[in-house]
Amino acid sequence: MEHYQPEFVVRYLAENADCACPHCLSSDDANPLTSIKFNNQQRDSLDVTCESAARQMLLNPDAFVLHAGKNDEIADAQPDIWLETLNQECLNLAMHPALTVELSLFAIGILLSRVQQYQGAKANDPALLVTMAQELCLLAEQGVLAQQYVALPQIGTVQTMALKSLGAKRMSFNLPPMEKMAVALKIGELKIMNDAQLVDRASSLQTQWNVFKTANNLALIYRNILIYKLYTDIFPGKNDVCYGEKFLRLTQQFFQLKMLFAIWAETGNELTDDIISSLYISLQSLGEDVDITINDEEKVLYALALI
């Protein structure tokens, strides 16, 4: 098999043998190294509930430079080339130099919605996926994707739902006590707001986020989070849940993380590397939201409204 180790895994293994983060201290088997075998690939990754692992993944500009080798494992006799190609095309869009991370997500959403139309006829040639992704890359390079992204309809309902669900999460933050209280209070407020108040809140947090993201170079972190998800989960995975739903869960997590960083910005405290990894871990360790009550056909459109 091909054996892949991204740079953040290599660095972690070299530098963080004795991690003393809350996760590693509370767990008997604290080794965060994970490994997925898929077709003819072994993909090594890290469980990012460990703070040292999360920091290596989030903050290193070269986190996803791949080190490739061979091992003696036997490749899958019936490889899923369709999924491998779809996952690779999603990764290509996530790393495309002409795309901001928001536009990468947008392009992946469009690809998945087109692919979903072929779901019934799985005999399709994976080359079709390559062609569709190439068309999207061309549209990106011509600036057409950016124009379409700006013209997306604003759907207040979906942002309200995502914000409400953020308010309902029982997050545990590894933060200094004062900051922890300030963040917890602001998140608690979301639970008692009515829909109109939540629409206003989403809009003011979005404004806050736009300034904060640029000032703190959060685009790199967002890019790494996206690539991590695609690489580690072989996103969008087997075709058992509709792709629209998987994409909606993905963008909902991105939206909530954005809101969480914006809430941190409102506290006026500095955003250190420790805070970045702590906020990320507190949200992602709770997993994805599952209570999404939207029609299948509308899921991609709703998901796009959360980017």
Positions that interact with Zn ion (CB under 5 A): 19, 21, 24, 50, 52
How far apart are CB 25 and Zn ion at their closest, in Å? Answer: 8
Contact at 8 Å (CB) between 71 and 43?
Answer: no
Contact at 8 Å (CB) between 127 and 89?
Answer: no
How far apart are CB 57 and Zn ion at their closest, in Å? Answer: 12
Could you give the C-alpha distances from 41 to 36, 236, 292, in angstroms and in order?
8, 17, 33
Residue closer to Zn ion, measured from CB, 55 or 213: 55
Residue closer to Zn ion, measured from CB, 21 or 265: 21
Scanning the structure block, which residue is given the tokens 């890019």?
Answer: 223
Contact at 8 Å (CB) between 94 and 53?
Answer: no
Residues 6+ apart with CB under 8 A from 289: 162, 165, 249, 252, 253
Residue closer to Zn ion, measured from CB, 12 or 209: 12
Please tell me what DSSP assigns to residue 76. P
Contact at 8 Å (CB) between 50 and 21?
Answer: yes
Residues 6+ apart with CB under 8 A from 216: 271
Contact at 8 Å (CB) between 10 and 67?
Answer: yes
Residue closer to Zn ion, measured from CB, 55 or 201: 55
How far apart are CB 185 and Zn ion at their closest, in Å? Answer: 28
How far apart are CB 37 and Zn ion at their closest, in Å? Answer: 25
Biggest CA-to-CA distance, the chain? 59
Residue closer to Zn ion, measured from CB, 50 or 111: 50
How far apart are CB 43 and Zn ion at their closest, in Å? Answer: 21
Query: Rounded CA gap, 272 and 50, in Å?
Result: 17
How far apart are CB 55 and Zn ion at their closest, in Å? Answer: 9
Query: Rounded CA gap, 276 and 37, in Å?
Result: 30
Query: Rounded CA gap, 190 and 33, in Å?
Result: 36
Residue closer to Zn ion, measured from CB, 50 or 305: 50
Residue closer to Zn ion, measured from CB, 21 or 63: 21
Residues 6+ apart with CB under 8 A from 287: none
